[in-house]
Amino acid sequence: MSGFVTFEGIELRYGAHTALAGLDLSISQGEIFVLLGTSGSGKTTLLKIAGGFLTPSAGRIVLDNTDITALPSWQRPVNTMFQNYALFPHMRVAENIGFGLRRQGMRGRELASRVEELLALIRLEGHGARRISELSGGQQQRVALARSLARRPKLLLLDEPLSALDRSLREETRADLLALLKFLGTTSIIVTHDQDEALAIADRIGVLREGRLEQVGRPSDLYERPATRAIAAFLGAANLIPVRLAESTADTLSLALPGGATAIMPVRPIAPAGLLHLALRPESLTLTIGTGPNTLAATVEGATYRGATRDLRLRLPDGTPLRANLSPDAPIPPEGSALRLTWNPSRAILLDR
Amino acid sequence: MTRSPFLTCWLIAGLTVLYLPIALLIGTSFNASRLTTQWSGFSLRWYVAMFHDTALMDAAFLSIRIALVSATIATLLGGIAGFALARLRRFHGRTLFAGLLAAPLVLPDLLIGLALLLLFVAAERLTGFPQNRGALTVVLAHATMCIAYVALVVESRLASTGTTLEQVAMDLGAPPFTAFLRITLPLMAPALLAGWLLAFTLSLDDVVIASFTSGPGATTLPMLVFSTLRLGATPILNALASLVLALAAGALFAAWRLGRARKY
Amino acid sequence: MRTLFLAPLWAWLTLFVAAPALLIAVIALAIPADTVPPFRLALAPDALIQALTDSFYWHGFLGSLRIAAISTLACLAIGYPMALAIARTSARWRGLLLAIVILPFWSGFLLRITAWIGILRDEGYLNAILSAVGIAKIQLMNTDAAMFIGIIYCYLPFLILPLESRLSSADRSLEQAAADLGATPVRVFVHVTLPHSLPGMFAGLALVFIPVTGEYVIPELLGGPSSITIGRVIADEFFNNNDWPQASALALILLAALVLPATIARRAPRGGRI
């Protein structure tokens, strides 16, 4: 592997429990890499290993051609922005930001001007003398970011950087964070459990599940070509419909859906023994009156008006639940009524895992 | 659920009973008469007499010196103990350590005093030190008694802050010892101060342990008050009690103002 | 590194806690003698046997138990409603009220006894009031009643503080939910408030019970000749009879009686913590 940061065969076991099972990952310089996973997936563990707070049972980490596996956290050119910020309560804003610089021996005017520079970067000029308790949540988030950027780390780790913020503040802060990281060109690993956040900020996403990287790729790759049912369901909440391969020709696959419907889609390699599922995004389903291939019949169980869409809860004849996000202009189908839906075959995803 | 009038009345009555004796005592201390209940005019004569009572003044200064030294020793050792219990999750003999530390906290003063006296007597027989008992042995005894209190205060403070801040410091390039100096110690500081004050007060207030571990020529203030009280209360003691109460209230008020001034 | 760091503490605790505890056991087995110090080392169980069999000492132990039990329950009866009342005030009042409860506590406990002597003595305030309304003087000083007043007065804050801290940590919405579901105030208290407060209550009870068992000063100053506690007996054997082995034997038994239940309680699984 030849990335700027490489994790090679990282393993972490506590007794019989395996937190990380032989993880390989390569990240290029200036990339924003998002580790996405539910709690217990091992994402925070990997971040702690990168930061030097946990020693892996096996494997090594190479950063900029240097093996840093054995370096303690205070000697690594890696800094972390901690979840909930962990700002030092007994220090002022400027002291917090300057803490890492002082450890490098920076003092006096040089220190003051570098701290002022960082304050300007996070648009908190003149706030250096404030107490931490006097700052708003958004301001604290920015101070924590500035503190972790102060030493110009080769690798920046961000643990759920936006999760402590109010929803209203999150989107704006997310854009600021992304712009700042891109402006500085800092190689970053961001840990999150929020798929929207991952899709919005990542250059690439790695989905962690049970200590393994299940898929790594650009946000659009993951969304359009998820490798597994779990990822399809997690990213974008796709409908998963069990299907059977009915016929395959040189360039198309014909699939049998529950209730006698069929789907026809471009050919692609599939595992012979795999249980097949068709993944259909709720937003790619539309109402139809047709009865040909790529349509299906469903019963309405309920509807929720969401402004931009009207979300239907449906059920297929075999009992498989289905969601469809239709245009709000569509007529409101009464509960219990039957309707037909169709989709663009190029948006359908066939999964064999 | 609204506050019940019964609870409010009970609280007011309880606090009244708590303060009534003190109020009477303060009033009595300004009574010119030697007789408690016969008011014969406002006077500071008992305060003047108190400051002229050399035995009492000597005992007071001895008590303050003993309290200063033993509180300082207890804060140093108790600070280390509290840090160890909160931050070194596993170390050799932790259970024994915690047990020995907590023993003086849970045992009656009488047992502590008796046990330490036996120790000092045995040590003198075996090594010639400490030669006779006096201020030094009381200091050692009081420090032993107070370590656990300081440790308790420090441990709960550190446990409530968690280790994340130290991790942040190390992440930002501070080796463990620097992280301790810059982060842990400042976090511990309020607890150390509170622990020191508690130890100081406990030492000043102790009569039983001091009675066992002190020797001739080293009479602490509580020992003197105790032996005086056995013969009956004197007006001078009323004056002393009022003065101590005023000092305590002043200290508590100052601590409160200080706490309000720097809130984080 | 860790060893070095903790070495001074280990040394201190070994010397000043472990060694003295052992010495009590050693001297409990010694024989009294007319020497300085007044004992000869031996392996004689006489003092221990005496301590366990002599009815005089039994009176001491049982007397302590009785006084500790009565005082603890009285503190609970008086202190529980006070703690509950403080816990239910707003945050601002709470701090002030706690300070008010703690303040007398900082004035020195002998001096608080002094205040009570001023009230209870024959020429004190209480008798002055009684004679003013035409009732004959009563002797209060050096009676059980005076001793109980003194003990309860001095130890009440020890019960209130842990209990209040636990009570104020309770989620008020639980009580409100119970009341909303139709529980009467008494039922809400019995089924919601009281069970939640138990850990704080037990901590407070222990903080009163244990020191009162060994209490020496208050019975000595306010109590009468019949207010016998084991603390008084031990001090008496030690200071007046100069019988160090007997005092040590009694201390050893008291130590065992206090430490063993605590150790067992610590081993047992615990439901809640304060």
A295-321: pLDDT as tens digits: 888 888 888 888 888 888 888 888 888
Looking at beta carbons, which residues of chain C come within 8 Å of B200?
Answer: none
Nearest-CA distance B186 → chain A (Å)? 7
Looking at beta carbons, which residues of chain B come within 8 Å of C210?
Answer: 106-108
Q: Using the predicted structure, report yes or no on whether residue C156 has a pLDDT greater than 90.
A: yes
Q: Determine the pLDDT at residue C265.
A: 63
Q: What is the dihedral of CA C63, C67, C68, C69, to 10 degrees?
A: 100
Q: Determine the pLDDT at residue A118.
A: 93
The residues in B 154-183 lying below 8 A from A, measured between CB atoms, are: 164-165, 167-176, 178-179, 182-183
CB contact B175 to C (< 8 Å): no
CB contact C261 to B (< 8 Å): no
Nearest-CA distance A314 → chain B (Å)? 45
Structure tokens at A214: 């299940």
Give the residue among B219, B122, B216, B223 at the shortest CA–CA distance from C244.
Answer: B122
Q: Which chains border B (3 or more CB–CB pairs < 8 Å)? A: A, C
CB contact C172 to B (< 8 Å): yes
Q: Determine the pLDDT at residue A2.
A: 62
Tens of pLDDT along B118-157?
999 989 888 888 888 889 999 999 999 999 999 999 998 8
- Amino acid identity of residue A106, one-letter, is M
Q: Determine the pLDDT at residue B239.
A: 93
Answer yes or no: do B168 and A131 touch at CB < 8 A: no
CB contact C88 to B (< 8 Å): yes
**Whole-number Å distance between alpha carbons of B87 and B97:** 14
Answer yes or no: do B205 and C110 touch at CB < 8 A: yes
Looking at beta carbons, which residues of chain B come within 8 Å of C175?
Answer: 1
The residues in C 185-224 lying below 8 A from B, measured between CB atoms, are: 185, 188, 206, 210-211, 213-217, 220-221
CB contact C155 to B (< 8 Å): no
CB pairs below 8 Å between B and C: how many? 225
CB contact A151 to B (< 8 Å): yes
Task: Return left, alpha or beta for A263; rule: phi > 0 is left, psi -120 to 50 is alpha, else beta.
Answer: beta
Query: Higher-confidence residue: B162 or A188?
Result: A188
Answer yes or no: do B173 and A132 touch at CB < 8 A: no
Chain C interface disruption, residue of B8, B24, B107, B129, most C CBs within 10 A: B107
Answer yes or no: do B108 and C106 touch at CB < 8 A: no
Nearest chain B residue to A84, by CA: B164
Answer yes or no: do B264 and A151 touch at CB < 8 A: no
Answer yes or no: do B144 and C123 touch at CB < 8 A: no
Q: Determine the pLDDT at residue C270.
A: 42
Helix (H) or strand (E) holding B258: helix B235-261
Q: Determine the pLDDT at residue A203.
A: 93
Query: Higher-confidence residue: C12 or A22?
Result: C12
Name the CA radius of gyration of chain A, rounded.
25
Q: What is the ipTM of this complex?
A: 0.88
CB contact A74 to B (< 8 Å): yes
Which of B158-184 are b and which e, b meaning 16 or more Cβ less than 10 Å from the residue's Cβ?
beebebebbbbbbbbbbeeeebbebbb
Q: Using the predicted structure, report yes or no on whether residue B19 has a pLDDT greater than 50.
A: yes
Looking at beta carbons, which residues of chain C come within 8 Å of B205?
Answer: 108-110
DSSP string, C45-111: THHHHHHHH-HHHHHHHHHHHHHHHHHHHHHHHHHHHHHHHHHTS-HHHHHHHHHHHHGGGGG-HHH
The pairing of strands A244-248 and A252-256 is: antiparallel
Question: A180 to each of A5, A19, A118, A145, A176, how far by Cα in Å?
Answer: 20, 32, 11, 10, 6
Chain B interface disruption, residue of C22, C100, C110, most B CBs within 10 A: C110
Q: Is A214 helix (H, G, I), strand (E, B) or coil?
A: strand
Answer yes or no: do C231 and B108 touch at CB < 8 A: yes
Structure tokens at A113: 């001007």
Q: Determine the pLDDT at residue C268.
A: 52
Looking at beta carbons, which residues of chain A come within 8 Å of B183?
Answer: 88
> To which residue do tokens 């169709």 refer?
A342
Nearest-CA distance B210 → chain C (Å)? 12
Overall residue count recorded for chain A in this entry: 353
Helix (H) or strand (E) holding B98: helix B94-106
Q: Per-block average pLDDT, block size 10, for chain A (353 residues)?
A: 83 85 90 89 89 90 92 92 90 93 91 92 90 90 92 92 85 89 92 88 90 89 85 82 79 80 78 77 83 82 83 84 82 81 82 79
CB contact B74 to C (< 8 Å): no
Q: What is the dihedral of CA A93, A96, A98, A103, to 10 degrees?
A: 160
pLDDT tier at C269, thresholds 50, 70, 90: very low
**Whole-number Å distance between alpha carbons of A287 and A326:** 8
Structure tokens at B105: 């906290």
**Whole-number Å distance between alpha carbons of C29 and A166:** 71
Q: Determine the pLDDT at residue B1.
A: 41
Query: Higher-confidence residue: C52 or A291?
Result: C52
Q: Cα angle at C223 between C221 and C226, to 5 degrees? A: 135
Span C157-166, average pLDDT: 91
Q: Cα angle at C43 between C40 and C46, to 5 degrees? A: 85
Structure tokens at A39: 């709690």
Name the CA radius of gyration of chain B, rounded.
23
The architecture (CATH level 2) of A238-351 comes to Beta Barrel (2.40)
Q: Is B184 helix (H, G, I), strand (E, B) or coil?
A: helix
Q: Determine the pLDDT at residue A236.
A: 77
**Whole-number Å distance between alpha carbons of B216 and B249:** 33
Q: Is C237 helix (H, G, I), strand (E, B) or coil?
A: helix
Query: What's A21's DSSP letter?
Result: E
pTM: predicted TM-score of the whole model, two decimal places:
0.83
Chain B interface disruption, residue of A79, A82, A90, most B CBs within 10 A: A90
Strand A155-159's sheet: what is its strand order? Answer: A78-81, A155-159, A187-192, A32-36, A204-209, A212-217
Give the count of beta carbons closer than 10 Å to the beta carbon of residue A56.
22
CB contact B3 to C (< 8 Å): yes
Looking at beta carbons, which residues of chain C come within 8 Å of B208?
Answer: 216-217
The pairing of strands A5-14 and A58-63 is: antiparallel
pLDDT tier at B261, thresholds 50, 70, 90: low
Domain covering A1-77+153-236, topology: Rossmann fold (3.40.50)
Domain chopping of chain A, boundaries: 1-77+153-236, 89-151, 238-351
pLDDT tier at C11, thresholds 50, 70, 90: very high
Chain B interface disruption, residue of C1, C12, C161, most B CBs within 10 A: C12
Chain B interface disruption, residue of C1, C78, C105, C111, most B CBs within 10 A: C111
Helix (H) or strand (E) holding A156: strand A155-159
Tens of pLDDT along B171-195?
999 999 999 999 999 989 989 998 9
Residue A267 near residue A248 (C-beta atoms within 8 A): yes
Give the count of beta carbons closer than 10 Å to the beta carbon of residue B79.
23
Which stretch of C71-80, C183-192, C205-214 has the lowest confidence by average pLDDT?
C183-192
Answer yes or no: do A99 and B264 touch at CB < 8 A: no
The architecture (CATH level 2) of C67-242 comes to Orthogonal Bundle (1.10)
Name the CA radius of gyration of chain C, rounded.
23
**Whole-number Å distance between alpha carbons of A350 and A226:** 9
Chain B interface disruption, residue of A87, A91, A103, A132, most B CBs within 10 A: A103
Q: Determine the pLDDT at residue A40.
A: 80
Could you tell me where the DSSP H helices lie in chain A? 43-51, 93-103, 108-121, 137-149, 167-184, 195-201, 219-224, 229-234
Helix (H) or strand (E) holding B248: helix B235-261
Answer yes or no: do B165 and A88 touch at CB < 8 A: yes
Q: Determine the pLDDT at residue C124.
A: 86
Q: Determine the pLDDT at residue A273.
A: 64
Q: Determine the pLDDT at residue C4.
A: 78
**Whole-number Å distance between alpha carbons of A50 and A44:** 10
Q: Determine the pLDDT at residue C272.
A: 35
The highest-level CATH class for domain B53-233 is mainly alpha
| Residues with Cβ within 8 Å of residue A40, at least 6 apart in sequence | none
Query: Which residues does residue A339 pair with via DSSP β-bridges, in sequence order?
Result: A298
The residues in A 251-270 lying below 8 A from B, measured between CB atoms, are: none
Long-range interactions of B64-67: CB distance < 8 A, separation 24+: B64/B204, B65/B135, B66/B135, B66/B138, B66/B139, B66/B142, B66/B203, B66/B210, B66/B220, B67/B142, B67/B199, B67/B200, B67/B201, B67/B203, B67/B204
Give the count of beta carbons closer than 10 Å to the beta carbon of residue B116.
27
Strand A277-280's sheet: what is its strand order? Answer: A239-242, A277-280, A349-351
Q: Using the predicted structure, report yes or no on whether residue B230 has a pLDDT greater than 50.
A: yes
